[in-house]
Amino acid sequence: MMKRLKVNDKIPDFTLTDQHGNLFHLEKHLGKSNLVVYFYPKDDTPGCTAEACQFRDQYEEFRDVSAEVIGMSADTPASHLAFAKKHKLTFTLLSDTDNRVRKMFGVQSDLFGLLPGRVTYVVDRKGVIQYIFNSQLNARKHVSEALRVLRETEIKESATT
């Protein structure tokens, strides 16, 4: 049984390849912005496309709360690039082809073990998980939940500065 990350855990460090074939080093992004790291089952499936397009459509709202969106699945960089081009996705897609990072986070498969899990993590600038949303069936809700938490976190941060 794999250990699942929880709220207040530090996000594990990882390096993966993005849709352009570039290496994405998590450590280079910590301290610069909040992160929304979302794991999804597969490029170009109905639920995953709806979720990705909603992240795309609300991308400026994520930027307004100093957040970078990172989608992750086991698809190849070439598959991610085709998916990103087809749907005009404006954020980073990472290839976790061996599901190593998925396992580091403890993202489990759906109820029947047929599909990789759909889980979204909201991570602050320090790399600490502030919120986790896990719902295989409600792909669209991941975006609104992440934005809600980021806005609440921003309010808390501005109150303490």
Confidence at residue 143, expressed as pLDDT on a 0 to 100 scale: 81
Give me the mean pLDDT over the 72-85 stretch. 97
Please, what is the average pLDDT of the chain? 88
Read off the pLDDT of residues 102-148 as tens digits, 9 standing for 90 and up: 999 998 776 555 677 789 999 999 999 999 988 755 656 778 888 98
Is 50 exceeded by the pLDDT of residue 1?
Answer: no
Q: How many CB atoms lie within 10 A of CB 156?
A: 12
Whether 53 is catalytic: no
**Residue 57 maps to which CATH number?**
3.40.30.10
Is 70 exceeded by the pLDDT of residue 156?
Answer: no
Q: 3-state SS of 37-99?
A: EEECCCCCCHHHHHHHHHHHHCHHHHHHCCEEEEEEECCCHHHHHHHHHHHCCCCEEEECCCC
Within a domain: 137: yes
Within a domain: 49: yes
Model pTM?
0.88
Q: The domain containing residue 109 runs over which residues?
A: 32-160
Give me the mean pLDDT over the 16-39 stretch. 95
Give me the mean pLDDT over the 11-38 stretch. 95
Within a domain: 24: no
Domain count, the chain: 1
- Of the residues 26, 30, 37, 48, only one is catalytic, namely 48
